[in-house]
Amino acid sequence: MAEFTMELNDEQREVRDWLHGFAADVIRPAAAEWDEREETPWPVIQEAAKVGIYSLDFYAQQYFDPTGLGIPMAMEELFWGDAGIALSIVGTGLAAVGVLANGTEEQIGTWIPQMYGDQNDVKVAAFCSSEPDAGSDVASMRTRAVYDEAKDEWVINGTKTWATNGGIANVHVVVAVVDPELGSKGHASFIVPPGTPGLTQGQKFKKHGIRASHTAEVVLENVRVPGSCLLGGKEKLDERLARAREKAKASGGERVKNAAMATFEASRPAVGAMAVGTARAAYEVALEYATTREQFGRPIIDNQGVAFQLADMRTQIDAARLLVWRASWMAVNGKPFTAAEGSMSKLFASETAKKVTAQAIQILGGNGYTREYPVERMHRDSAIYTIFEGTSEIQRLVIARTLAGMPIR
């Protein structure tokens, strides 16, 4: 177990500074353009690939940092640059982690390189889980995968929504129901190779924020994938389903639902770190503005009303980061979230991002309301953090039911 410390080590500081430089020199200057265009920023992703940020190796190094701080540190710096572009850079990681967590060595070696491509031919991947009627309620998923034993193929039908890189991805990882009676334990993940007939892009969403990140529906109509595209293989799936059926009988199904929620709980600190990055960016703009903007013959930070807002903003950002770091450290060291610490970090950080970016606009006044200054975009971007990976209302529900010792449905 890694010894707890509040200070980054030399290697972590070096990586942080490197990422900050990329965010400042490459991401931030391009942010306004790609927000207006509402398109995937391929040139920026290619630059990230050239320097090694857009790669499985980099993501894996941060993911396996024994302190747990590698991923939140990376997310904070990239999203400090711009949330939409950063999500385009890290979005493939969702699909890659799905394969790493569930796939065989052969599947990992075959598919993950195809998700990223190389610096001369950049690719992206999409993780497709949410559905029109199944967002936070994963047990309501309807996309079905049926095994055709004669052909050793899986036939997938359904519609996925809110998929980052959905439809434009080289490789799609799709979560589907294989046994409806088992709820979320009856799900399995499948690789859909590039060019597979039946997979099409549905509606591309025109969003309030994170507009440089491609978000769309993915429609699957009689999509046939080889048996080798079932992550983990059929033997492993059959064994897992058999165990789940026994547990469901013994516990009345509640343990099945809790396991599904625990999976989401472990991933939420990373979203909290994204929110911290956006909040910090807006705070820094507001602080610089307040120290240079003069009204009534003095900088506006001399006015207590402005100074106290900045004090609160900084305090909330630091508190949010500490909650994220605590949850990340607990997760990597196998500490159970007995008080839903993962949800706590995501809830507080996401709400902080919305509040801090709104305060930044207020401090900048009319300038903050225009697109000449970045806080307007940051405020629009911040709204997503209280929605994806479970809304703030869901986080509060998870925390409350965990504290009460009640099952999480």
Residue boundaries of the structural domains of the chain:
10-122, 125-250, 256-403
At position 318, the amino acid (one-letter code) is: D
Q: What is the pLDDT of residues 335-381, one digit of tens each?
A: 888 899 999 999 999 999 999 999 999 999 999 999 999 999 999 99
State the distance between the two ends of the chain, measured CA to CA, in whole angstroms. Answer: 32
Q: What share of the chain is helix, strand, coil (3-state, %, to 5)?
A: 60, 15, 25
Tokens of 164: 């980052």
For domain 125-250, give the CATH number: 2.40.110.10
**Tokens of residue 180, six digits:** 């409806």
Which tokens sit at 193?
Answer: 């190779």
For residues 184 and 261, give the distance between their C-alpha atoms in angstroms, rounded to a whole number. Answer: 9
Would you say the CATH fold of 256-403 matches that of 125-250?
no
The span from the CA of 136 to the CA of 22, in Å, is: 34
The dihedral of CA 9, 15, 18, 21: what is its sign? negative
Does residue 314 surpass a pLDDT of 70?
A: yes
Cβ atoms of residues 133 and 140 within 8 Å: yes
Q: Which of 344, 289, 341 is nearest to 313 (CA)?
A: 289
The answer to whether residues 282 and 356 touch, using CB atoms and an 8 Å cutoff, is yes
Hey, is 131 helix, strand or coil?
Answer: strand
Residue 136: the pLDDT is 63
Q: What is the pLDDT of residues 130-153, one digit of tens each?
A: 898 876 666 678 999 999 999 999
Positive or negative CA dihedral for 225, 229, 231, 234? positive
Residue 245 has pLDDT above 80, yes or no: yes
Express each pLDDT in 251-301 by its tens digit: 654 444 433 344 455 578 999 999 999 999 999 999 999 999 989 999 999
Confidence of residue 184 (pLDDT cuts 50, 70, 90): confident
Beta bridge partners of 145: 156
Among 292, 328, 374, which residue's Cα sits nearest to residue 24? Answer: 374
| SS3 label, residue 192 | strand
| Rounded CA separation 392/386 (Å) | 5
Report, at the CATH architecture level, how domain 256-403 is classified. Answer: Up-down Bundle (1.20)
Q: What pLDDT is attached to residue 254?
A: 46
Active-site residues: which are they? 389
From residue 173, alpha-carbon distances to 8, 25, 164, 232, 390 in Å are 34, 32, 11, 13, 20
Q: Which letter, b or e, does each residue of 39-71 get, where b requires 16 or more Cβ atoms within 10 Å of its Cβ?
A: ebbeebbbbbbeeebbbbebbbebbebebbbbb
pTM (predicted TM-score): 0.90
Counted residue by residue, the chain has a size of: 409
207 within 8 A of 382, measured Cβ to Cβ: no
Tell me which fold the domain 10-122 belongs to.
Answer: Butyryl-Coa Dehydrogenase, subunit A; domain 1 (1.10.540)
DSSP-assigned beta bridge partners for residue 399: none
